[in-house]
Structure 1
Amino acid sequence: MGAPIMIPEIWYLVFQFLATRNDLSNVCSVCRLFDAIATPLLYRSLVFRDPHIDGSHWSKLPDDEEVETQDEADNLSFGLLCRLLDDNNDILRGFVREIVFDDQMNNMRTVDRVWRKLQPPDDVLATLVNRLPNLEAIVFQNELPITDGFVNALLSHEKSPKLHLLGEDGRTRVNIKMPFVQKLHTSVNARARAPRDRPGTDRSGVRAWEPQRLALHELFSAFPNLEELSVSINWLRGGCVMGGPPSPTRILDLILSEEATFPPLKSLSLSGYPVEGDEVALWRDRFPWDRLHSLTLGVQLLPSTPGLLELATGKVVNLKEFQITSYNRLSTSAELDAFLCSFDTLESLTAKGAVPSLTSVIHQSNLKHICLHTIEEPARERETLDVEQLKDLNQHCPKLTTLEIDLDPNGTWPDDIVSVIATGFKNLRRFSIHVGLGIAHAKDYHSMEEEFARVLTKSKAHDFAKRFFELRGPSVLEVVTLKTGENLRWFPQWHPKYAIAEEECTKIFEIYPPLEDNHEPRLNELESD
């Protein structure tokens, strides 16, 4: 089969928008012209993952042979490595811009094989860096070794590739400066327990067990050019046995000498990290708040979180994205409101569990994305936006393209609210409603599941869709989502009955506009996670 007549440059632009690597792989099989155009795109970003066979066969890349056993599949990533290390494949190597070690490498045989290959004397990754002339980035989504050879290869590379450590767990070496590290996501468990036998090495005979350690000043010293930092500390412990010996995890206070500085961060995410004591002055006076473009807080919010917002108030000048998420609502939104009212540059605001006042939200007139979600509680009815508040939101945030809000219909869709949303927000492309189940009014635990199941049905979703699009008419809106259920719940032991019933009744409906004026909206029920 030959390619339709079109100049190669146009096909190249078309292929860039293909959704998946499998699509690119299939295009390579169409004809020689498509193979020549699509192969550079296919090799531009290479992903090494734990290959799992799904179905009768599995194939990694166009020129991999199909395999039928897991042992064969486990070798495919290394077949790709060998292909790139082969000097006969200079052209292929020139296509590679990024290599990713996926966090799905959880099969012990695969992880151990990777670990051995990346360590001396093989040091395969260092060799690979030296053989890829156009490499721009390496992404570790898992814990992998950083050897001297690997560090030297990155430092001496002509393209100065960046390293993204997205699966750091408190065990990465920090005794050498690595200015090429651009992104760091570190996660430690403050409730972790040491192995009973404390083995010196794992089954591969390579890695010794060591406790987790978080010392931000050590990370800042090792990675002085960080632009993105995510720190997550788990303080939660659940189960029947709540006691036990102290955790071996070490979390050290941030200490900076007079000469030391914070990295030039543009993105910061903190969950469970306490900013208190002597650290307060460091974050207030020396953190580069003016450079920050993105700030994420939660899902574990500590008592010190409002204080951190207070430290940042008046100092952020170019923040584009702010997200705050919590299992529990804030006792007061005063600090959150003051923070949001101190600047006006936000384009994306997500607040789940901890929700600011609408006054502080509409202060951000450049918003394109808003998500405001309050968790339902059995002891109190949640507050949702009324008609006047929705009108204010529509008036003061005219650039909105994505909106996610709560709605508690109490048996019927409130036509005044549906009308305000449908006839306003002219630039919306995606609209989502979290439909309340009425947990605060549920008294009879034995009938909860039956009551909750009736809140959002296919018939009720269809009624909403029909009325909504009758009022809205033709627009740029692409999809409306109606959903029930809650993923922001955590209980140390047993789930209460309302949470069990809520989980059983989780539903998601996607509604698409009518294709023609006389057509019905299209409804699609999704499987819940």
Structure 2
Amino acid sequence: MPEPIQPFPLNPDIWHLIFNTTTQNDLLNIARTCRTFNTIATPLLYRSITLLTPKPTTPDQKTKLLSKRTAERQRAGDPSNPNRTREYDRARWTLFARLERDEHIRSYVREVVFPSSSSWTGYVGYLREDNYDRLCRLLLRLPNLRRVKLGCKKVQKECGALVRAIAAHPRQPELEVTICETDKRGEFPFAQAVSAPTAGAEVQDSGLSCVSSLTVTVEPHRWPNGGGRRMRDIQDLFFRCPRLRCFAMTVRNAEGGHIFIQVGMEMYGAVSSFKFGGSHGDGDGDASRRLVFPPLEELSLDGYQMDAVECAYWRDGLDWSRLKSLTVGPNETYARYEQDEGGLLGKFAGYATSLTTLRVLDYAGTNIGYGKAWVIGPTGEWRDGLARLLDSFDSLVTLELRGYWPSRVETIWRHRGLRELTLHVDEVADSDERRVLSVEELEFLDERCPGLRVLEIDIERDGELPITILTTLATRFKSLHVLSLHFELGLRNIKTPLRPSLSTINAHRLGKLFFNARHHAGIATSCSFTITLWTGRSYPCEGEPERDHTRFADEYTATYSVSLADGGDGDSEALLEVRRVEGKSLDIREMAVNPSGIFRG
């Protein structure tokens, strides 16, 4: 008699790894399948919980929510009846009550999230009635809590008790705060709440030791009368977090777009940077010198202007040996005065010498040098500053340059431990040809950075496919796992589209050439190796007839993913799978036989 088939022959640890990659909805369905899957999926399902209802973002979600509210009002009779139970609140109450009464489920929770886009419903109103005491008691009863993400503005307004509960938790969980919007009075709810007397003496005196991440977006142009108060609140909050590891600051203009020249902005009462002693002739110099910078490990500055005085405080006060990640842009982040030669990156050269990740981003069309350091975009001085920064250390693992090129490309090669490299510049209609790596530079890059696993670069297709560049990439870079190649759109002459076009047929031809050359070179290629061929723009371009170029870009933008099919090993007989990820096909024959955009051959 044959033995019965085991329904779950895999080890539970393997199922745990598989379930760890699924979504919350999939985990919920898996947990209802059987007891074995329920035991594995339930801890993952409750690992991160959201205690507020996210706002609907898509038209379908908004339609469903409106239909639910209409049905509830019809059942309740009186829309103003406070005793009615809304369907979109019921799920949160059920989760909250289940956590309160079930000790095992509470032990699964590692993260509690209050999302930024949260609906202000009756459920949250009930929590406010006792100043969030019920919520604080629940947080203290989560034995394995590691992180709390606070983004909801309504909760931030009265978060004193919540911060005290997190600080008193025996596990000392981290608090990650996101401040995306400010009110019309020029105040930040979180900063005001933790400074108010109701926050408690322990919060006011000892500081916000539980805050590990602070992400702030400020618009000083929108309400000029409150712009200075906004930035002062951010500065006070920044220095009150003695264990802050991640800080991200984004400064936007009134329209929410990127900032260009802001000279003279402060005469209208809007302040766009921190104020230290001697900065613009105000403040107590001795008091500013006594400020202790938090031990930052990640720093992101987007649209932030820093003068020479403030830069000196950052250089002298920050523990640069701890800083591992630096991100600048894509909004213009530069020094405001002409004497600040080299810009912000040049000022950090010789200090930020322990970085493992550097990202410098810029919008297309703003990278044209005009000879002044305070004018729009990364000028020649800025490119020199980037080169000086790269030349001052050699510890980078990830380097991402979008819209920027250092004045000396050889400064990139000195980082021999690079694993991920991105060199991409979007096209601008009225600019010269963009900078791309030559065959010799690619060969030198392979010699100096043999461990490179992810590479994203630009290539040109002047009347023919870039066979030489593709062959060089295929026969070298033995550790490469992901390759992304960007083809120019041809915005300099939109009346004559570039040829050959990027289509499924040409993508398959390039993929076949690459994998065959790699196989003949004796380089083993895993089945997960992916080549991305794309053309388009990362950021909106400036200084061009937007209507004509947008229409042209929409017509020819395309992204193709090429990989080995059916577990092939890259030999000449292996099948390739070409998937059209974005854009429409430019080949009529392809549309007739392959409308789905997936081709194997």
Which segments of 5 or more consecutive residues in structure 1 lack a partner in the other structure?
59-66, 196-208
User: Aligned with 1:278: secondary structure?
Assistant: helix
Q: 2:512: which partner in 1?
A: 466
Pick one of 394, 397, 403 that aligns with 2:455.
403
Partner of 1:271: 302
Report the CA distance between 1:226 and its aligned residue: 0.5
2:171 and 2:213 map into 1 onto residues whose CA distance is 17
| Structure 2 Cα separation of the partners of residues 35 and 265 of structure 1 | 40
Task: Write out per-residue CA displacement over residues 208-259 of structure 1, whole angstroms, 9 at most, x where no aligned residue.
Answer: x9998123430223322110000000137489xx9x9x98865453326332
Matching residue within 168, 190, 196 for 2:220: 190
Partner of residue 177, structure 2: 165
RMSD: 3.5
Runs of 4+, deviation exceeding 6 Å: 53-58, 209-212
For the 8 Å contact 1:272–1:300, the answer to whether it is kept is yes
Shift of 1:15: 4.5
**Equivalences for residues 440-459 of structure 1 within 5 A:** 440=492, 442=493, 445=494, 447=495, 451=497, 455-459=501-505
The change in CA–CA distance for 1:189 and 1:2 in structure 2 (over 3 A counts) is farther
Q: How does 1:314-353 map to 2 (within 5 A)?
A: 314-327=350-363, 328-329=366-367, 330-332=378-380, 333-353=383-403
Map of 2:373 onto structure 1: none
Task: Kindly provide the amino acid, as one letter, of the partner of residue 353 in structure 2.
Answer: V
1:519 partnered with 2:574:
yes
Aligned to 1:294: 325
2:559 and 2:421 map into 1 onto residues whose CA distance is 19
User: Which of 50, 56, 81 is 2:54 aligned to?
Assistant: 50
Residue 22 of structure 1, aligned match among 25, 43, 50: 25
Residue equivalent to 2:343: 307
Q: Read off the aligned partner of 1:182 and give its amino acid letter.
A: S
C-alpha separation between the residues in 2 aligned to 1:169 and 1:55? 23
CA distance in structure 2 between the partners assigned to 1:49 and 1:249 by the alignment = 35
Distance (whole Å) between structure 2 residues aligned to residue 496 and residue 261 of structure 1: 50
What is the CA distance between 1:421 and its match in structure 2?
Answer: 0.5
Distance 2:228 2:307 in 1: 24
Pairing 1:413-432 to 2, within 5 Å after superposition: 413-432=465-484
Unaligned residue ranges in structure 2 (runs of 5+): 73-85, 183-187, 196-203, 277-286, 337-341, 368-377, 585-601
TM-score w.r.t. the length of structure 1 is 0.84
Residues 1:139 and 2:139 are matched in the alignment: no
* 1:478-510 deviations in Å (ceiling 9; x for gaps): 110011111222549972522442244221100
> Structure 1's 511 and 15: CA in aligned 2 closer, same or farther, altered over 3 A?
closer
- Among residues 426, 437, 441, which one is paired with 1:375 in the alignment? 426
Any idea what SS the aligned residue of 2:546 has? coil
Residue in structure 2 matched with residue 359 of structure 1 by the alignment: 410
What's 1:64 paired with?
A: none
1:278-300 Cα distance to aligned partner (Å, 9 max, x none): 21220221122221000000011
Matched, 1:485 2:536: yes
Query: Residues 169 and 249 (structure 1 numbering): CA distance in 2 closer, same or farther, change over 3 Å?
Result: farther
How far residue 30 of structure 1 moved from its aligned partner, in angstroms, is 2.1
State the alpha-carbon separation in 2 of the partners of residues 437 and 53 from structure 1.
32
> Structure 2 vs 1, CA of residues 470 and 191 (structure 1 numbering), >3 Å: closer, same or farther?
same
Instruction: Give the distance between the partners of 1:57 and 1:286, measured in 2 at CA.
Output: 48
Match of 1:198 in 2: none
Residues 403 and 24 of structure 1: is their aligned pair in 2 closer, same or farther, counting only changes over 3 Å?
same
Q: Which has the higher helix share?
A: 2
Same amino acid, percent of matched pairs: 27
Give the direction of change, closer, same or farther, for the CA distance of 1:311–1:180 in structure 2 (3 Å limit): same
SS in 2 for 1:41: helix
SS at match of 2:321: helix
Q: CA deviation at 1:413?
A: 1.1
Which residue identity is paired with 1:279? E
Distance 1:461 1:6, change over 3 A: closer
Distance in 1 (alpha carbons) for counterparts of 2:544 and 2:517: 47
TM-score normalized with structure 2 length: 0.74
> How far apart, in 2, do the equivalents of 1:522 and 1:271 lie?
39
Q: Are 1:483 and 1:507, in contact at CA under 8 Å, matched by a contact in 2? A: yes
